[in-house]
Amino acid sequence: MEENQTTLVRFGIMGCATIARKMSRAIKLAPNSTPHAIASRSLEKAKAFATQNELLDEQGKLIKTYGSYVELLDDQEVDAIYMPLPTSLHVEWAVLAASKKKHLLLEKPTALNLAQLDQILEACQVHGVQFMDATMWYHHPRTAMMKQVISNSANFGHIHKITCTSCYPVGSDFLERDIRVDPEFDALGALGDLGWYNIGQILWAVDYKLPTFVTALPAATLNSKGIILACTASFQWEEEPKTTATFHCSFLSSASMDVTVCGSIESVHATDLTIPWQEKTASLFLTSGAKCVNLQSGSNVEAEEVVVETQLPQEALMVQEFALLVKGIKSCDKTWAEISRKTQMVVDAVRNSIDLGYKPVYL
């Protein structure tokens, strides 16, 4: 039976991770969702988080707080779970959430590997709940505009090369203590935390067609526990005309979020595709080959800046999209699950290539 279209999707937030601050604001901003409860392993922590972030329910009261995740999942008033747990805990809690009929907005990386993600997706399928990973940049209107540019093959031409970076300098405290460099929690390191974005961007650019093979470039930087702190990888599509992609992700370098898609006729570039520098506007830079740079005579043409406005930040647009699917679905929507699945598959391939001594891994 179709759910009521006018009521808000009531979110339960599972854990008080730093990213949950940004996401609880997004749940408040999205017009079709509301925070409803928050759980932490410590009730005090959950209460402090709800208070500090002014998380009010539909009646304007402080949202419910729980000292255990199970209690949150048992709350019949909660429609959907936003789950920012450490990656190694995803499979256990996501499967349980689905079995409790909670729709699932799951932080990225979705799982430690594809087998785990498939368990999660199967549980969502079986229990008829919506799945989406919390990759925000897909939902910005600038992304749609860029996609329109590169999809117009008469104007853009064939996509020859995609180049992305995802760098974020974490500092020595993080390198020693953060869960994202601890194999107990986030064994994928920078590849899962940052490379996830680039892999998604590359797949997005080619309409989610998997590359023929993936090769990590020697040499990745690993910590003493084997966690990836920085790596570079290349993707190859073998059909003619060829497409090549490279990305670099790193916890060690200054912030960089460049994405460049080079077509045979036009190129498009953004410096902040993953997280826009500004909340209300975002730019893309378009170079047209028709009035291309002339290396011989020097008659250059600067890239054209296209500014895209948005009323809501991309994380709120993501919540809105998710909530629309939750409200609208009769059976599980497969699109977002497929995107997550392909992204995870390529994450695994890059990790495998590193483990195999930088050999190509065919998909």
Q: How far is the CB of 173 from a copy of itself (least distance, A)?
A: 14
Q: Which of 29, 253, 321, 329 binds a copy of itself (CB under 8 A)?
A: 253
Closer CB to a copy of itself, residue 116 or residue 314? 314
Q: Which of 219, 307, 356, 363 binds a copy of itself (CB under 8 A)?
A: 219
Closer CB to a copy of itself, residue 67 or residue 141? 141
Instruction: Tally the C-alpha atoms within 13 A of residue 352's C-alpha that lie toward its C-beta.
Output: 14
Q: Using CB under 8 A, which residues numbered 286 to 305 contact a copy of itself?
A: 287-289, 292-293, 295-298, 300-303
> What is the rounded CA–CA span in Å between residue 89 and residue 330?
28
With residues binned 3-state (H G I as helix, E B as strand, rest as coil), the percentages for the chain, rounded to 5, are: 40, 25, 35
Closer CB to a copy of itself, residue 128 or residue 241? 241
Q: Which two tokens stand for residue 88?
A: 């190694």
**DSSP structure string for 61-72:** SBPEEESSHHHH
Element (H, E) at 307: strand 304-309
Instruction: Please identify, among the stretches 16-24, 46-54, 75-83, 137-145, the one whose residues bind a copy of itself according to the rule CB under 8 A.
Output: 16-24
- Check residue 269 for interaction with a copy of itself (CB under 8 A): yes
- Number of residues assigned to the chain: 363
Q: Are 300 and 199 in contact (CB under 8 A)?
A: no
Q: Which of 99, 119, 125, 221 binds a copy of itself (CB under 8 A)?
A: 221
Exposure letters 168-195 (e unless 16+ CB within 10 A, then b): bebeeeeeeebbbbbeebbbbbbbbbbb
Closer CB to a copy of itself, residue 130 or residue 287? 287
Measured on CA atoms in the order 76, 51, 35, 133, is the torsion positive or negative? Answer: negative
Q: Are 14 and 297 in contact (CB under 8 A)?
A: no
- 33 φ, ψ (degrees, to nearest 5): -140, 160
Instruction: Please identify, among the stretches 55-63, 246-254, 339-347, 348-356, the one whose residues bind a copy of itself according to the rule CB under 8 A.
Output: 246-254
- Check residue 147 for interaction with a copy of itself (CB under 8 A): no
Instruction: Please identify, among the stretches 75-83, 183-191, 284-292, 344-352, the one whose residues bind a copy of itself according to the rule CB under 8 A.
Output: 284-292
Q: Which of 89, 123, 262, 349 binds a copy of itself (CB under 8 A)?
A: 262
Between the CA of residue 196 and those of 71, 77, 94, 208, what are the distances in Å? 31, 32, 19, 14
Q: Which two tokens stand for residue 232?
A: 């570079």
Per the listing, tokens 């997550």 go with 340
Measured on CA atoms in the order 314, 319, 324, 330, is the torsion positive or negative? Answer: positive
Rg from Cα positions in the chain: 21
Q: How far is the CB of 56 from a copy of itself (least distance, A)?
A: 20
| x/- letters, 149..188, toward a copy of itself (CB under 8 A) | --------xx-xx-x-x-xxx-------------------
Closer CB to a copy of itself, residue 254 or residue 331? 254
State the residues that interact with a copy of itself by CB under 8 A. 18-19, 21-22, 157-158, 160-161, 163, 165, 167-169, 213, 215, 217-219, 221, 230, 232, 234, 236, 238, 241-242, 244, 246, 248, 250, 252-258, 260, 262-267, 269, 271-272, 275-279, 285, 287-289, 292-293, 295-298, 300-303, 313, 315, 360
